[in-house]
């Protein structure tokens, strides 16, 4: 399925936000197992690629590349998770 520029941009922003949240959370819990460290390395490789996808869609928008924008996206994502969290019982 072919995506429009807007759809691709939205998907790219979501992926980038998820990657950044994942990296931050792995670092905050001090995940140091081999799999976690490998995942951090992969994310570090993916983030610049995602930035290029966003750049190709929007040009070099200073707003989209700002830490404020990305932090806002992460905060919104974290809020949704926190508000919808339910303890899973086995």
The DSSP secondary structure of 57-82, one letter per residue, reads HH-S-HHHHSHHHHHHHHHHHHHHHH
User: Residue 44: CA atoms inside 13 Å, Cβ hemisphere, count?
Assistant: 8
- State the average pLDDT over residues 18-31: 84
The angle subtended at Cα 64 by Cα 59 and Cα 69, nearest 5°, is: 180
Mean pLDDT, the chain, as a whole number? 78
Global pTM reads 0.63
The angle subtended at Cα 49 by Cα 62 and Cα 33, nearest 5°, is: 115
């Amino acid at each position: 399925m072919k995506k429009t520029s807007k759809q691709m941009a939205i998907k790219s922003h979501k992926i980038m936000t998820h990657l950044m949240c994942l990296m931050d959370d792995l670092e905050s819990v001090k995940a140091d197992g081999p799999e976690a460290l490998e995942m951090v390395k992969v994310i570090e490789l993916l983030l610049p690629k995602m930035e290029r996808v966003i750049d190709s869609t929007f040009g070099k928008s200073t707003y989209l590349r700002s830490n404020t924008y990305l932090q806002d996206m992460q905060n919104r994502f974290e809020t949704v998770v926190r508000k919808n969290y339910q303890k899973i019982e086995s």
